Amino acid sequence: MNRITNSRAYQKAQRLVSATIASPAKLLSLAGSARKKASKNARSKVSDLLEPIKASYRLIQAYASGTYRDISLENFGLIVAAMIYFVMPIDAMPDFIAGLGLADDATLLAWTFSKVKEELERFLNWEQQQDSPDKLDSP
């Protein structure tokens, strides 16, 4: 894990976090890029992580729109950094390297999702409440 988190690519992703979080347009662009890459690589090394990836880009969209902010900036920053790294074409192991290209992405995503598991679960619960028919019946 240290090889990835100490890589130039991850360091670059971390440097982009503050500017990305500060810009709803950048957050929405990041979420769209993550969505495209996840759907394109559904049968790859990241396939086991598709649900948390999907939850993460939905969380990023909700944060960008201002509808969801119940997340620590530290954990949101981890998610944003991981998504930036995920969408980078050239990272610790470039994606075009057959069989290995997404291994570093999967490792970083799994590590990130283990760190922010409770935050993602809270977001998913909030998201379910937004779609819940019971919410419509509430006064």
Condensed to tens digits (0 to 9), the pLDDT of residues 75-126 reads 999 999 999 999 987 655 555 455 556 778 888 999 999 999 999 999 999 9
Q: Where are the domains of the chain?
A: 2-137
Burial class (CB in 10 A: 0-12, 13-18, 19+), 62: buried
Per-residue pLDDT, averaged over 118-139, amounts to 78
- Among 91, 98, 86, 76, residue whose Cα is nearest residue 17: 76
Question: In this predicted model, which residue has the larger pLDDT, 53 or 4?
Answer: 53
- Sign of the C-alpha dihedral computed for residues 39, 121, 131 and 76 taken in this order: negative
pTM across the whole model? 0.85
pLDDT score for 138: 44
